[in-house]
Amino acid sequence: MPHPVLLFGHGAPLDAPELAGLALRDVTRQRHLAPKDSQIADMLEPFLDPFVRSFLFGLETGAFDAHAIVVWRQGAGALHAFRYACELRRLGLLPDGPPLHLWNRAGSTGAAAETFNTQQAEHLARAVDGAAKTPPIDPSALTILEGRQAAGAILGAEAFRRRLTARETGAAVDLSPAPPATGPRLALAGAPLGGDALHRWLDRQGVLVLDMQGPDAPPGDIATLLTERRVETLVWQVDPHDDLHGWRMPRLRALCADLGIRFSDLGFVPTWPTTFPEVLP
């Protein structure tokens, strides 16, 4: 029986033409802990991206049953995940498992970029040949869900959960009715989070109308998004080992000041947080 294709990498484009018709499962934000007899735990530097660590432990425990695992190169930490996994397999410290394939796209335009993208698409096609197929899912469901969140018609945690569930299971986005949110209008930005714990806490602080760290974050100019959604407070957080997203904070803080939006910095927040302050700082 054909198996699905697993994707690892924040922002992996599930709607890419290269992936059309494939049964896809996004495992980027899944949490896998080190087994008691782990052969790799002591080898992983403490500053390694938490999602990369989790992915490697998933490989070690045989958690991924797939035709292939496609690593989206442009996702934060994705190249580390691919290189570590390949080397640890070569050393015999990770068991055999689904083949790993690194997929990239050029970030520019022109003849050279087009040639590169064509080659990448051809390599990807060979890697996923024979994988399970599935009818296409209507992408407009994500747009509808985003519109509901922007209007405060759904709690932030519930919207996050529905997006994540759709990515992890390959199912259509759940558009069933949900309780509305009330309170000050909030935005969330910073490093990706692995679960909805922070969102559930934010739901007690106000209405999360813009989630810029979640899966399928809305595209577009940040200033325009903040303005159109009438954001009153932007909540910022990064993982303690972050080496990417934090560089964006000064510019975003300045933008909020220009727009008259309160900037609430939670500081370092673990990828899977468990404790929070009573109120927004």
| Mean pLDDT along residues 158-169 | 97
For domain 5-128, which architecture applies?
3-Layer(aba) Sandwich (3.40)
241 pLDDT exceeds 90? no
194 pLDDT exceeds 90? yes
* Res. 138 pLDDT band, cuts 50 70 90: confident
Give the tokens for residue 21: 């018709």
Q: What is the mean pLDDT of the chain?
A: 95
User: What are the tens digits of pLDDT across the range 60-116?
Assistant: 999 999 999 999 999 999 999 999 999 999 999 999 999 999 999 998 899 999 999
The Cα–Cα gap between 146 and 140 comes to: 10
- The DSSP secondary structure of 155-183, one letter per residue, reads -HHHHHHHHHHHHHH-PPPP--------S
Q: What one-character DSSP code corresponds to residue 22?
A: B
278 pLDDT exceeds 90? no
User: What are the tens digits of pLDDT across the range 244-261?
Assistant: 888 999 999 999 999 999
Output the pLDDT for position 98.
96
| Mean pLDDT along residues 215-221 | 93
Share of the chain above pLDDT 70, in %: 100
231 pLDDT exceeds 90? yes
User: What are the tens digits of pLDDT across the range 113-132?
Assistant: 999 999 999 999 999 999 99
Tell me the residue ranges of DSSP E strands in the chain: 5-8, 24-26, 68-72, 100-103, 185-190, 207-211, 233-238, 262-268
- Right CATH number for 140-268 from 3.40.50, 3.90.550, 1.20.1070, 1.10.3470? 3.40.50
Output the pLDDT for position 244.
86
136 pLDDT exceeds 90? no
Output the pLDDT for position 137.
78
User: Which amino acid, 111?
Assistant: A
Q: What pTM, to 2 d.p., does this model score? A: 0.94
135 pLDDT exceeds 90? no
Least confident of 15-24, 25-34, 86-95: 15-24
Show me where the domains of the chain are located: 5-128, 140-268
CA distances from 278 to 26, 205, 225, 281 (A): 33, 9, 28, 9
174-178 own/partner pairs: CB under 8 Å, 24+ apart? 175/141, 175/144, 175/145, 178/148, 178/153, 178/154
Q: What are phi and psi of 262, to 5 degrees?
A: -65, 135
